[in-house]
């Protein structure tokens, strides 16, 4: 799921299955609403290429393992521009990946 406000991609989330998305949907939606409220009425729209560029840039970041509160392994990364990314992996499979762009 990619979210853009005007021409700016603000977040991209990927999930292993619909049930995982459903568990975090309310938190994601409230964050999207606040992003939209802060928008200045830009008429430009983001494209698929904009989403692909953000995802590709996240692949180039320096990822570090983080402490998890439950099962699985979490990895986090930040860009010099202030973008943040994280992934949760369980048994070698991606459960949730997220990139937040500034």
Q: According to the model, what pLDDT value does residue 72 have?
A: 95
The model's pTM = 0.84
Q: What is the pLDDT of residue 42?
A: 66
Q: Where are the domains of the chain?
A: 2-100
Q: Is the CA virtual torsion 32, 47, 64, 68 positive or negative?
A: positive
Strand ranges for 26-81 from DSSP E: 64-66, 73-78
Q: Per residue of the chain (102 residues), give pLDDT as tens.
A: 998 888 889 999 999 999 999 999 998 888 788 777 776 666 788 999 999 999 999 999 999 999 988 899 999 999 999 999 999 999 999 999 999 998
């Amino acid at each position: 799921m990619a979210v853009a406000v005007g021409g700016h991609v603000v977040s991209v989330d990927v999930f292993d299955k619909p049930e995982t998305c459903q568990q975090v949907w309310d938190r994601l939606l409230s964050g999207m609403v606040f992003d939209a409220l802060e928008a200045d009425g830009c008429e430009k729209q983001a494209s698929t290429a904009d989403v692909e560029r953000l995802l590709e840039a996240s692949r180039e970041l320096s990822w570090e393992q983080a402490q998890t509160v439950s099962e699985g392994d979490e990895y986090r990364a930040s860009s010099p521009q202030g973008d943040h990314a994280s992934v949760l992996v369980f048994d070698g499979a991606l459960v949730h990946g997220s990139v937040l762009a500034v």
